[in-house]
Amino acid sequence: MNSSPAPGANLAALRDHNTALVLGLLRDAGPAGASRAELADRTGLTPQAVSKITGRLRVAGLAAEAGRRASTGGKPATALRLMPEAAHAIGVHLDRDALTVTLVDLSGAEVVTRTSPLDLGAGAETVLAAVTAEAARVRAEAGGSLLGAGVALPGPLDHRTGVLHRVTGFPRWDGFPLRDALAERLGLPVVVDKDTNAAALGLVLRGCAGPAGSFAYLHLGTGLGAGLVLGGAVHRGARTGAGEFGHQVLRLDGPLCPCGDRGCIEVLCLDAVARGDVAEAARLLGTGAANLVRLLDIDLVLLGGGTLLKDAATYAAGVRDVLGAAAPVAVTPAGDRTVVEGAAELVLASLFGRDRLSGLPKAGLTHSP
């Protein structure tokens, strides 16, 4: 999913790539930081190159020295760490009945979060006004260093243009240019993506996939969807349509699904949930997950979503039963913040070289005069 118009790379692209890489490693290292030598080792760059890059980052205020490490027989290493407060991002989660807005710093840590009820079907004007108002409240904490806002909501939609399609249950949104409309209101760059994709991205930045690793995030809420991380990056497909896990046919010629097909996993699973048969719902989820693991050779299955989190342990156990040794199963470590946190990461990801396609114009924080 490269931006195909200009796949050629010049020196500036090379510098940005390496800078993002280092910045990403610094973020992963956390408050303890990492030494220049460690960074050089992990990137494959020479120590001198790392020195130059970290020097630029320090001038830009994105990194700072953070004490000494114990010596291993020579000069002790100087730890470098990310300055989390150097920049912030807003995350917006538009759910069917609620609005959550969060402000996070560069490290992805929560600064403040506000949740309010919302009718996603109330019309564009009402929804936009609510988002704008909540964002303004949250924004005060950022102190001007705001990179942009990421918005996560149910699909289908087009994450490249930020235009919504027939959002499930709310067809009136079809064709609405959410990204541009919100960018104008907020005066900020805005990135829009499906809720499951945002969640997956957030989990990537939490380190749930190793470098070039993979996992599937299965989200069971009012519907059933998935976010796929392949080769370290979120797989969205050309039309942001990837992750339509709910309409995988699992029982040929089974019960009719609202989507028109028969035997979709969503209709089977939601039926089981409605009957209160959590074990069967988990078994269905597990069977679908096993299909994913086999098809995509995935390292890990992560579970989340409102319905599932109400009985997370039972679901996890049921899915684990079906998957066996095929892949480990875990519940999302971000809990009910999974989506909104990921929404904020939509903005930050490009800084850390974790996007391979973000709607944001390459944020050039280190462009020296």
Partner DNA sequence: GCAGTTTCGCAACAGCGTTGCCAAAGTGGA
Partner DNA sequence: TCCACTTTGGCAACGCTGTTGCGAAACTGC
- Give whichever of 70 and 252 is closer to a copy of itself, judged by the CB atom: 252
Does residue 29 belong to the site contacting DNA (CB under 7 A)? no
In whole angstroms, give the CA distance from residue 43 to residue 38: 9
Instruction: Kindly state the tokens that stand for 45.
Output: 């760059």
Does residue 48 belong to the site contacting DNA (CB under 7 A)? yes
In the complex, minimum distance from the CB of residue 75 to DNA, in angstroms, rounded to a whole number = 3
Closest CA to 16 of 46, 47, 56, 51: 56
Does residue 116 belong to the site contacting DNA (CB under 7 A)? no
User: Interface residues for a copy of itself in 47-76 (CB under 8 A)?
Assistant: 49
In whole angstroms, give the CA distance from residue 273 to residue 68: 54
Does residue 47 belong to the site contacting DNA (CB under 7 A)? yes
Does residue 226 belong to the site contacting a copy of itself (CB under 8 A)? yes
Q: Which does 211 bind (CB under 5 to 8 A by kind): a copy of itself, DNA, none?
A: a copy of itself
User: Interface residues for a copy of itself in 77-116 (CB under 8 A)?
Assistant: none
Three-class DSSP category at 227: strand
In whole angstroms, give the CA distance from residue 231 to residue 20: 17
Q: Which of 61, 121, 177, 213 binds a copy of itself (CB under 8 A)?
A: 213
163 to 194, 232, 294: CA distances (angstroms): 11, 26, 33
Q: Which of 18, 102, 307, 338 binds DNA (CB under 7 A)?
A: 18
In whole angstroms, give the CA distance from residue 124 to residue 330: 37
Q: Which does 77 bind (CB under 5 to 8 A by kind): DNA, a copy of itself, none?
A: DNA
Half-sphere exposure (Cβ direction) of 19: Cα atoms closer than 13 Å? 23
Helix residue spans in 44-123 (DSSP H): 47-59
Question: What are the beta bridge partners of residue 164?
Answer: 157
In whole angstroms, give the CA distance from residue 90 to residue 111: 10
User: Interface residues for a copy of itself in 293-312 (CB under 8 A)?
Assistant: 294-299
Q: Which does 85 bind (CB under 5 to 8 A by kind): a copy of itself, DNA, none?
A: none
Q: Which of 5, 10, 212, 324 binds DNA (CB under 7 A)?
A: 10
Three-class DSSP category at 19: helix
Does residue 291 belong to the site contacting a copy of itself (CB under 8 A)? yes
Closest CA to 362 of 354, 351, 216: 351
Does residue 236 belong to the site contacting a copy of itself (CB under 8 A)? yes
- Give whichever of 4 and 324 is closer to DNA, judged by the CB atom: 4
Does residue 132 belong to the site contacting DNA (CB under 7 A)? no
Does residue 203 belong to the site contacting a copy of itself (CB under 8 A)? no
Does residue 259 belong to the site contacting DNA (CB under 7 A)? no
Does residue 140 belong to the site contacting a copy of itself (CB under 8 A)? no
Does residue 14 belong to the site contacting DNA (CB under 7 A)? yes
User: Interface residues for DNA in 54-83 (CB under 7 A)?
Assistant: 55, 68, 71-78
Does residue 237 belong to the site contacting a copy of itself (CB under 8 A)? yes
Question: What are the beta bridge partners of residue 303?
Answer: 218, 331
Q: Which secondary-structure segment (H or E) carries 127? A: helix 124-139
Q: Which secondary-structure segment (H or E) carries 93? A: strand 88-94
Does residue 325 belong to the site contacting a copy of itself (CB under 8 A)? no
For 300-353, the DSSP string reads -EEEESHHHHTTHHHHHHHHHHHHTTSS-EEE-TTGGGHHHHHHHHHHHGGGGT
Instruction: Kindly state the tokens that stand for 269.
Output: 């699973």
List interacting residues with a copy of itself (CB under 8 A). 1-2, 4-11, 14, 17-18, 21, 43-45, 49, 210-214, 226, 228, 230-232, 235-245, 247-252, 254, 261, 263, 268, 284, 287, 290-292, 294-299
List interacting residues with DNA (CB under 7 A). 9-12, 14-15, 18-19, 35-37, 45-49, 51-53, 55, 68, 71-78
